[in-house]
A and B are shown apart, each in its own frame.
Chain A
Amino acid sequence: MEYLEKRKRGTEDKKMIKSKNKWVFALIMILLLAGIITYTNNPKQQKDEIIKIGAILPLTGATAQYGESLRDGMELAKEELEKKGLNLEIYYEDSAGDPKQAVSAYQNLKLKDTDIIVSALSRSSMALVPIANNDKIPLIMTVVSAKIEKTPYVLRFYPNDTGYADAHFSVINTTKYKKISVLYVNDEFGISLKDAIKRNAKEKGIQVVYEEDFEPGTKDYRTILLKVKETNPDAVMVVGASPAEIIGPLKTMKELELNADFFEIATALSIKSVRSQTDTEGAYTTAFPFVLSKSGNEFREQYTQKYGKEPFFAAPFGYDIVNLISQATKGKKVSGEELLNNIYGLKTFNSSNEEIQIKENGEINPALYSVKIVKGELEEVRA
């Protein structure tokens, strides 16, 4: 009897497990089917005549702020163009800054018949360069290091590493600054900018007395800055990839009473909300023309009106890239080669960061300016 009961219980358990399995599989199948139906019924698929942009951006993860502001800029440009009667389609995919996810996103965007790809961040863009070139689909990279080797179908819309360092070194007072220390984030961006700083310092006859890297997301800069203090530099140049990597060293310098001028290279302090986090008075930073009201006022106003916040530095790049594509295509579908030729044919582009030259090597580099923070506002530094 006991045996029979056990057996009965066992059979019931198995039935229950099978039933649970069915539910799980059914859920997954429903999801897959829903996806396929959504894809096949997507009315956007029928818009064959308009230009389709695929944007592979970091929309989640530690670098989501870049992706989100780029997307916001792109959406703003799209909205404005639509008002002018120029239609285009933008498909967003999340790369989370990861090369593998970026390649998957690219393959998915190919299904949507995208004419051009926009990608952000070096890690994910580097994986896309060879495949985009192979498929002859133009790729515009932004917020990427200049160290990426480009191919004929690849353009880079971002200041180059020399541009960042040049902004300060073109106006730096060589009689005041004889010795500098360099702190940089240990990633491809930090390393390439550190190299540019050292190159510029050598040309100007300024001695780099100390250099050290820190890991992305570092919170405590006390040990590094104590070592910096011992070298008694005239200025400390910091390359950080996020605002926290600038605010952290600046706060610690004041705590340690390290009396050297603070130079930030990567525009973080040009953003008001970042500047307000600590006492930044007297610090130097770099700024894009649109921040200094040299250009892009209209963009800034519309962005603030639409999103209720000031644009992060990456936002105008998204905005400008969409406008550049629109100018090169007039919103109509063209082949990859034609699109590329049209972009090169423009020669210059009136962006929210002043007029930029479109170089033959695929570089589109907006200018940067050296600025000093005086009473919380940005003041351009002149030679």
Chain B
Amino acid sequence: MIEAYIVHLLILIGIYFILAISLQLALGFNGLSNFGHIAFFGIGAYTSALLALSGWSFLICFISAGIMAMIFGFLLAVPTNKLKGDYLALATMGFSFVVYAILLNWTELTRGPLGLPGIPRPVLLGYSLSDNFSFLVLTAIIAFASYFVIYRITKSPFGKVIESIRDDELASRVLGKNSFKTKSIILGVSAFFAGIAGSLYASYITFIDPSSFTIMQLVPVLLIVIVGGLASLSGTIIATFILMLIPEALRFVGFPSSIIGPMRQIIYALILIIILIYKPKGFYGKVEMV
């Protein structure tokens, strides 16, 4: 029994890890306060779910989810190119509201608030991943591949350019670096990984609706990035485990039924406050939060 529970938690950790490192790439490494990240997750989930429900193979659904989210990432980069800090955060937040409104109101396609139930589990090369363990293997492979790609990007000369734009965009441009192109690529790549995380989420939970992709759902992902430390991939790994496991650990604490829900939330919030008091830059943060 405990194995099934652990497998389930590891799957969620894997999915949220992909989502968090993709946000880390944009926010931590490139300094883009992208509050529309959850919309890419939603676009990926809906693309994958709609294709899967139409009978397309998982591989097509999965790749399409990433590509569709990436296209929206590039599109978002165009109007937000000259925005920074709070202004960029507000603009990208607006984008997530627009995507939510579309998912909610384009009922012919998305079924609106009724959501999409019965999303099939992946079938890869004739092998069905209907049991959670095989799904965990798939998630682990994709999470590792995502980490590897993002790690390589950040360690490459291009990675230094994106960090230089975060630290001083004007200086980078004076040195001949095309900041618009760089930021567009980063938003696109970041959106791609959020999209594939969305595809995994839809295939695993088997039900999605617009409420799963609101700005409130971005909060835990943002927390992982901040607690892990900006521009730190290893910090993101640790933070994903810790922040996903604390609420689960609290399930084992026997509170009276009358206070069970709020009490867990209070303790979770207190732990986060304590972590951030002692580690204001997160576990392995390299840059200050602006």
Interface residues of A (CB under 8 A from B): 20-21, 23-24, 27-28, 31-32, 34-36, 38-39, 42, 59-60, 64, 67, 71, 75, 90, 92-94, 96, 98-100, 103-105, 107-108, 110-111, 113, 123, 126-127, 129-130, 145, 147-149, 186-188, 190-192
Contact = CB atoms under 8 A, between A and B. Distances in A.
B104 interface: yes
Given A110-B1, A111-B2, A127 B253 contact: no
B85 interface: no
B271 A92 contact: no
Interface stretch (B46-54, B61-69, B75-83, B242-250): B242-250
A147 B107 CA distance: 15
B94 interface: no
Contact of A23 (B1, B251, B278): B278
B112 A94 contact: no
A188 B261 contact: no
A310 B271 CA distance: 37
A113 B1 contact: yes
A99 B117 CA distance: 11
Given A64-B261, A126-B115, A126-B117, A21 B279 contact: yes
Contact of A191 (B113, B251, B265): B113
Q: Which of A23, A38, A90, A94 has the most CB of B within 10 A?
A: A94
A237 B36 CA distance: 37
A123 B149 CA distance: 35
B133 interface: no
Contacts, number: 119
Contacts of B2: 111
Query: Which A-B residue pairs are the 6 nearest by beta carbons?
Result: A59-B261, A35-B252, A94-B261, A60-B261, A35-B249, A187-B113
Nearest to B267: A31
A99 B205 contact: yes
B117 A148 contact: yes
A97 B207 CA distance: 13
Contact of B271 (A31, A36, A90): A31
A306 B267 CA distance: 28
Interface size, B (range): 35 or more
A286 to B, nearest CB: 21
A28 B242 contact: yes
Contacts of A186: 104-105, 112-113
B261 A38 contact: no
Contacts of A149: 117-118
Contacts of B274: 24, 27
Interface string B1-15: 110110011001000
Contacts of B275: 24
A21 B260 contact: no
A191 B110 CA distance: 14
Nearest to A106: B8
Contacts of B253: 34-35, 38
Given A28-B271, A59-B260, A111 B211 contact: no
Interface string B114-136: 11011000000000000000000
A192 B271 CA distance: 41
A264 to B, nearest CB: 20
A113 to B, nearest CB: 7
B4 to A, nearest CB: 6
A137 to B, nearest CB: 12
A28 B246 contact: yes
Contacts of B261: 59-60, 64, 67, 94, 96
B262 interface: yes
B177 interface: no
B35 interface: no
A32 B209 contact: no
Given A21-B279, A24-B278, A186-B104, A104 B117 contact: no
A312 to B, nearest CB: 15
Interface string B250-284: 11111001101110110000010011001100010
Contacts of A60: 261-262, 265
Which of B12, B113, B212, B275 has the most chain A CB atoms inside 10 A of its CB?
B113
Given A23-B278, A28-B246, A98-B212, A110 B5 contact: yes
Given A59-B260, A59-B261, A148-B117, A32 B245 contact: yes
Contacts of B4: 107, 110
A60 B264 CA distance: 10
A100 B205 contact: yes
